[in-house]
Amino acid sequence: MDVFEDDGDYGAFERVLAEALEREPGVRLLGYCLMPNHWHLVLWPRRDGELSEFMRWLTVTHTQRWHAHRHTAGTGPVYQGRFKSFPIQQDEHLLTVLRYVERNAKRADMVRQAERWRWGSLWRWENRRKAVGRDPELPTISGWPVSRPRSWRQTVNAVLSKTETDLVLRSIKRGAPYGGKGWTGRTAQRLGIESSLNPIGRPRNDVAV
């Protein structure tokens, strides 16, 4: 289902996102991209529990306002199930995920250049010196824990390798930590999500007689 049907829908979500960041100042927004039927956020919380509360308020508030605008209150949820998330190592792996997120619209052939997609953090970065980039109703983009490459726009527009894309998609689908092998194993163990790293395959079909 399309969540965003026009510019007003996209703008309304950005305003809710900005409010959520003000309510939970411990959660920092590093990048985002809004697409017609889904969205990606790269978030950097300071403490345990902040991410869940942030996402709960964001999705509940956006759902309420979405239904109120359409006069469809009580007709069903906009979001089904819990949001998907995965931890990211703060090195080149974070840059890869940000590239994946910020080039979403280009990958879907909605724009020729990723920075032309109005509803994302790359457009915000490219237009940061303009008045529209300082709109108080827009969500604040925080500084990154890694250095942004000088040729970031060109980097985002470059195609990700199949290996990079497959690993990011695996983390999105399974919630597996995304990073170097050693860091990934330690993080999965610390968070109790070792099963997210298991190979995907057919389950055993043992028969007890």
- Quick one: CA torsion of 203, 162, 98, 168, rounded to 10 degrees? 10
Q: Check residue 2 and give its pLDDT.
A: 80
According to the model, what pLDDT value does residue 207 have?
47
Could you tell me the CA-to-CA distances from 59 to 45, 65, 143, 154 in Å, in that order?
17, 10, 24, 32
Q: Is residue 198 part of a domain?
A: no
Helix (H, G, I), strand (E, B) or coil at 200: coil
Structure tokens at 171: 């983390």
What pLDDT, on the 0 to 100 scale, is given for residue 116? 97
Instruction: With beta carbons less than 8 A apart as the criterion, state whether 82 and 175 touch.
Output: no
Cα–Cα distance for residue pair 103/33, rounded to 1 Å:
8
User: Burial, 81: exposed, middle or buried (Cβ in 10 Å; 0-12, 13-18, 19+)?
Assistant: exposed
67-76, 111-120, 187-196: range with lowest mean pLDDT: 67-76
**If you average pLDDT over residues 161-186, what whole number do you get?**
96
Is 143 within the bounds of a domain?
yes
pLDDT at 166 over 80: yes
User: In this predicted structure, what is the pLDDT of residue 160?
Assistant: 95
In a domain, 200, yes or no: no
Q: What is the mean pLDDT of the chain?
A: 89
pLDDT-derived band at 3, boundaries 50, 70, 90? confident
The answer to whether residue 114 scores a pLDDT higher than 70 is: yes
The three-state (H, E, C) secondary structure of 57-68, written as one string: HHHHHHHHHHHH
The number of domains in the chain is 1
User: Tell me, what's the pLDDT at 65?
Assistant: 80
Q: Which domain holds residue 184?
A: 7-192
Residue 206 lies in a domain: no
Q: Which two tokens stand for residue 45?
A: 């919380």
Q: pLDDT-based confidence at 136, cuts 50/70/90?
A: low
Residue 203 lies in a domain: no
Q: 205 is written with which tokens?
A: 């079909």
Comparing 80-84, 120-124, 168-172, 201-205, which segment has the lowest mean pLDDT? 201-205
pLDDT at res. 66: 72
DSSP 110: S
pLDDT of res. 204: 47
Q: What is the pLDDT of residues 33-89, one digit of tens each?
A: 999 999 999 999 999 889 999 999 999 899 888 778 766 765 566 666 678 899 999
Comparing C-alpha atoms, which of 125, 150, 116, 136 is closest to residue 31?
125
CA 200/CA 64 separation, integer angstroms: 37
**Looking at the domain assignment, is residue 56 inside a domain?**
yes
Could you tell me if residue 158 is inside a domain? Answer: yes
What is the CATH classification number for the domain harbouring 186? Answer: 3.30.70.1290
| Per-residue pLDDT, 199 | 80
Establish if 185 belongs to a structural domain. Answer: yes
- Of 209 and 159, the one with more pLDDT: 159
Q: How confident is the model at residue 177 (pLDDT cuts 50, 70, 90)?
A: very high
